[in-house]
Amino acid sequence: MTDARGPVVALDGVGVAFRSREVLRDVTCRIGAGERILVIGPSGSGKSTLLHVVTGVVPHSVHATMTGSATVAGLVDAPVLDRVRHVGFVAQDPSAAVVLPTVEQDVALVLENHGVDPAEVDARIDEALEAVGAGHLRHRETDRLSGGEAQRVAIAAALAARPALLVLDEPTAMLDAAGVRAVRDAIARLPAEVAVLMVEHRLDALGPEGLPARTIALDPAGRLLADGPTHEVLREHAAALAESGCWVPGWAADAHTPVPRASAAPAAEPVLRAVGLAVHPAAVRPRRFRRAPDPLPPVLAGVDLALRPGELVALIGANGSGKSTLLRTLAGLVPPVAGSVAGARPGMVFQDPAHQFVAASVRDEIAVGLADDDPRIDDALRCHRLEHVRDASPHRLSGGEKRRLSLAAMLVHDRPVLLADEPTFGLDRRDAEAAMGALVDASRTRAVVFSSHDLALVGRHATRAVVLGRGTVIHDGGVDALVASPALLVAGGIA
């Protein structure tokens, strides 16, 4: 798995601990030039930490105790700034990677930061964009990119410096079906000499042919469970991976765990009603880069929605269709320019869990608004598998643990309406099903709405589906009717 020049990455006995919590244990592996590697494991197994060890963020930028050694492009245990010429990094959130007005400027920024000769910049921008099939986006304004387009641009920017290794941390996590296809195509088009190290949960969405050739699997304790050809690892270790909570694609596993499903409740009076909602883009995010007025269509227009206790409503739509905006408007966080929202004030679980954290410890986060001895606090810690981190800072948790905490902190309050923006994104199979089970339970007495790109998840759990397209409701009804309509699935961004 290496070439004559030696490996791009060599990890030898790597262990990482944050304070008293050990995340990775004795991980040894090699990554050769041009290798494409998938990293899988349950929530909290150290997948993102492994990526951060490779980039140098751990232990040089994030305080942690690291044992063993990490050699990247011949540099042993070097800090981030020394590795940045050799390693490109792309995160989950496409919007985090685009910071300038146009795609061209965004890619050029990377080249300028690397001191590339100005005479070469123009050709290097074309080279990077063409490598991921995004040449046509060069002059596009970044705030008009879809999620998939933004992630393509992020990958192009990471490639512009011609790194030896591209590190991808769940690059499809926030994308609809079209976005997943765009990223899958971009990865397939990468230069053959560039190695890829990718963490990903959505294996079925990528498909058998879209997965990297090699897989590294971590067990719940952060140890190496398997390292080999992807199809062999997924088939031979399917039971252990599923047992630990990993998503195992359907072609690799025959059994599926039974899951709870909400039962359609008798019609009740709405506890929250939206009528004629319209939201302008300026209310959602300032348009910082406009040099002249350029009116955009509303993010939402003419949206009517009634939420009743006993319903678990799936909110579906392509990237940019207005799902998050609708949830935030229902929660009272975004002002509508027209229409009204009347009824109980909802609780909301944000797409980025860190946006709702206000306390110094996990237990205190759940206890906000409750008496310190309220038994619901410890019940929530136990139910959401957070007892082992009860005294940790919410911001020091793994991505999956942050997601579980955000859900626990909102569910512990008896609000009649609960809104959850992509509540399973970034979670392994066990925690995703546990999160949905908690929402199913909550929906027995409350109105619950969750947004998702996952058709299987929606089909298993939701009692009603609302599909947004171009900022308005194009379907509000049964889940079966949605699944049976290819046109609706395409419009909803899940096919």
- Helix (H) or strand (E) segment spanning residue 30: strand 21-31
DSSP category for residue 447: E
Q: What percent of the chain has pLDDT over 70?
A: 92
Structure tokens at 458: 């929606």
Residues 96, 259: Cα–Cα separation, whole Å: 34
pLDDT at 2: 40
Q: Going from the N-terminus, what domains does the chain have, and what CATH number goes with each?
A: 9-244 (3.40.50.300), 272-346+415-491 (3.40.50.300)
User: In the chain, what's the furthest Cα-to-Cα distance?
Assistant: 71
Cα angle vertex 39, ends 58, 110, to 5°?
55
Q: What does the pLDDT average to over 26-37?
A: 97
What does the pLDDT look like over 166-207, one tens digit per residue? 999 998 888 888 888 888 888 988 999 999 999 998 888 888
Q: What does the pLDDT average to over 332-341?
A: 95
* Lowest-confidence pick of 23-37, 276-290, 302-316, 342-356: 276-290
Cis omega before residue 59 (within 30°)? yes
**What torsion do the CA atoms of 93, 95, 100, 101 make, to the nearest 10 degrees?**
150
Q: What does the pLDDT average to over 256-275?
A: 70
* Matching residue, tokens 């309050």: 413
What does the pLDDT look like over 113-162, one tens digit per residue? 999 999 999 999 999 999 998 999 999 999 888 778 888 899 999 999 99
pLDDT above 70 for 254:
no
Q: What does the pLDDT average to over 40-62?
A: 93
Residues 297, 306: Cα–Cα separation, whole Å: 24
pLDDT above 70 for 296:
no
pLDDT above 50 for 326:
yes
What is the spatial order of strands in the sheet that 338-343 belongs to?
Answer: 300-307, 272-279, 338-343
pLDDT at 255: 44
Of 421 and 431, the structure prediction assigns the larger pLDDT to 421
Confidence band of 285 (pLDDT split at 50, 70, 90): low
Confidence band of 464 (pLDDT split at 50, 70, 90): very high
Q: What percent of the chain has pLDDT over 90?
A: 65
pLDDT above 90 for 378:
yes
pLDDT at 297: 75
Confidence band of 249 (pLDDT split at 50, 70, 90): confident
pLDDT at 373: 93
Q: Would you list the DSSP string of 86-142? A: TEEEE-S-GGGT--SSBHHHHHHHHHHHTT--HHHHHHHHHHHHHHTT-GGGTTSBG
Report the candidate in 357, 368, 354 with the shortest Cα–Cα distance to residue 426. 354
For residues 167 and 54, the answer to whether their CB atoms sit within 8 Å is yes
pLDDT at 409: 96
pLDDT at 258: 46
What is the spatial order of strands in the sheet that 65-72 belongs to?
Answer: 21-31, 9-18, 65-72, 75-76
pLDDT at 292: 47
The model's pTM is: 0.82
